[in-house]
Structures are given as C-alpha cells and as structure tokens.
Amino acid sequence: MSSAESSRCFFPESVEEIITLLAEGNNRTCLLCGGTDLLVQWHSGVTAPPETVIVINAVPELKVLREEEGHLVIGAALSHRALAVSELVRSRLPALAAAAADVGAVQIQNSGTIGGNVANASPAADLVPPLLAAGAAVIAAGPRGRRRIPMESFLRGYRSIDLADDEFILHFEVPVLPAGGRESFHKLGSRAAQAISKVAAACRVVVEDGRVREAAVAMGSVAPTAIRLPEVEKILSGRPLDSSTIQEATEAARAAVRPIDDIRSTAEYRRWAAGSLVELMLEELSGTAP
C-alpha cells in the first residue's frame, strides 16, 4: 500500500462499532482522530499509510465533557479548541485549558484532539504535563471491556503506551482543582505558535493557611516520557511559596530532569529551562511573578 488514497476508511458511529472494526483488523489497521499527527507522518513518508483507517472523530461517546464526583470526564475526540474555550475546563482545569490553547495554531487546535495527543506518545505532547499534574486517568475500551489506567503508568516509555492493539482511549477522568487549588502551565518553543515544545511544564498546588498542602509538578521533553518531579513536590510540601522555597525547587528541577540533545534543543538548555519554568510557575502561583 503506497498512498493514503489506497487505504480503506471506515467511519464508525458508536463505541461498539470501533471495537468490532479493531477486532476485525490487523497490524495494518490504524485509528485516526484529528489526523494532525498521522497525516504529517504519512505525507512525509515517516510511516506508510495503513491498509485500513478507522476514523473515530464522529463517535458521540468520544466527545463527552461533563463534571462528575470531583473530576471532569473528557472524551478522547474533543479538540484542543473545544478544551481551550470551554468555561468548564478553564475553571476546573486551567492548566489543561492553557496547554490546549498553546498547541500549534488555531487550525491544528480545531482538528487535533486530546486522545491523539496522548496516544501519539510523544514526550513533547503538551497536554500530558497538565494531565499528569492533575492525577488524571485514561479510560480505555476494547473487546475485554473497559479499564482505568493512571496516566503515569499509561506512559510506559519512549513512544510506548499501555494500550493493546484492539483497545482505544475512550475518555480521560481528570480530578478538578480542589478548594485552595491553583494551576499553571508554560511551554518553551522556538516560536509563539506552530512550535513543538523544547520543554513544557505544569504545576498544581493546594495552599492552606499560607503553606503548600499538596503539590504536583510535571514536565514534558525532559525524559523519554513526560514525567512528574517528586523531588520538587517534596520540597514544596508543607512550605510557604516564598523565594527560598522557590529557589530550592528551581534547583531541584534542574537536578531531576534527564533531557537529551535533539533537533529542537540541547540537553543543557533544557535542564536550565526546566528550572526556569518551575520558578516562573511558582512565582505566578504565589502571586510574586514580575
């Protein structure tokens, strides 16, 4: 099969139809949602178009967005734009909304989806740090039923996720900001738009009586997968967000990351930037950002 024109395309309208089509497929079958990663790969020859393409972006159950029992249920086929403009997402998960608003530019945001961003398994996927910092879980569906996988174990390694060939991401369950919670997201790329991150970072803190009660810090493009930074979280825990805490956390972030040199940046710059993004986020969350 040498061109996308010769692929067979299916357009299922329900979760059950996706399951059936995947079960009938083989290793030349592929799911496509917004197509913003896949079409670039096929067009540039990085991967060949598959025999069968299952286009899942019109399945209603993959487009749900609702709040229930302390978390948002976010359908895998929701576009970045849908998340960025949603009042529900902006108020409950501000870092995720900010990350979605920073993906590519408006055209990419209109087609690209949260499910594709996560399933593409890139360490530079911008929505992953805020999902990790919020303690999100993936709900996968397949012929053996549904299963819930915490985001951290879903990301198994470089370009590797915990999803069988006959499974797909149905939705995400993302704990909303608790009372006293604040979030921040920042990314560094070579331009303001249409730039894959050199480093991206998200932070969620819960402050009570002037001290950090809970802290979660996550980063992309500094290791084989996006990661949480427990060393930084430990420093923040129980402390006020003052300049000495922020300085210690900044240095701890630089020591914790394991970046590499690649086409977009150097390991040295990424290590420095990882600390600076932590510093910026914490200053913002403490109200002392310049």
Ligand X SMILES: Cc1cc2nc3c(=O)[nH]c(=O)nc-3n(C[C@H](O)[C@H](O)[C@H](O)COP(=O)(O)OP(=O)(O)OC[C@H]3O[C@@H](n4cnc5c(N)ncnc54)[C@H](O)[C@@H]3O)c2cc1C
42 or 241: CB nearest ligand X = 42
Which tokens sit at 148?
A: 């819930």
User: Closest separation between CB of residue 78 and ligand X, Å?
Assistant: 10
Nearest to 101 by CA among 78, 85, 114: 85
Among residues 40 and 255, whose Cβ is nearest to ligand X? 40
Q: Which residue is nearest to ligand X (CB)?
A: 116
**What is the nearest approach in angstroms of ligand X to the Cβ of residue 120?**
4
Ramachandran bin of 238, using left for φ above 0, alpha for ψ from -120 to 50, beta for the remaining angles: left
Please, what is the minimum distance in Å from the beta carbon of residue 87 to ligand X?
A: 21
The residue among 16 and 242 lying less far from ligand X, judged by its C-beta, is 16
* 3-state SS record for 115-144: HHHHHCCCCCCCCHHHHHHHCCEEEEEECC
Closest separation in Å from C-beta 152 to ligand X: 18
141 close to 15: Cβ distance less than 8 angstroms = yes
Cα separation, 113 vs 18, whole angstroms: 17
Min dist. Cβ of residue 141 to ligand X (A): 9
Sign of CA dihedral 18, 24, 30, 35: negative
Closest separation in Å from C-beta 13 to ligand X? 15
d(CA 137, CA 171): 9
Q: Which one, 63 or 213, has the nearer CB to ligand X?
A: 63
The residue among 38 and 235 lying less far from ligand X, judged by its C-beta, is 38
- In this structure, the strands spanning 160-161 and 71-75 are unpaired
Burial class (CB in 10 A: 0-12, 13-18, 19+), 60: exposed
Amino acid letter, residue 167: E
Q: What does the CA dihedral 165, 161, 150, 29 come to, rounded to 10 degrees?
A: -30
Residue ranges binding ligand X (CB under 6 A): 30-38, 40, 56, 76, 103-104, 108, 111-113, 115-117, 119-120, 125-126, 168-169, 194, 196
Please report how close the Cβ of residue 107 comes to ligand X at its closest, in angstroms. 8
Of the pair 111, 247, the CB lying nearest ligand X is at: 111
When the beta carbons of 137 and 196 are compared against ligand X, the nearer one is: 196
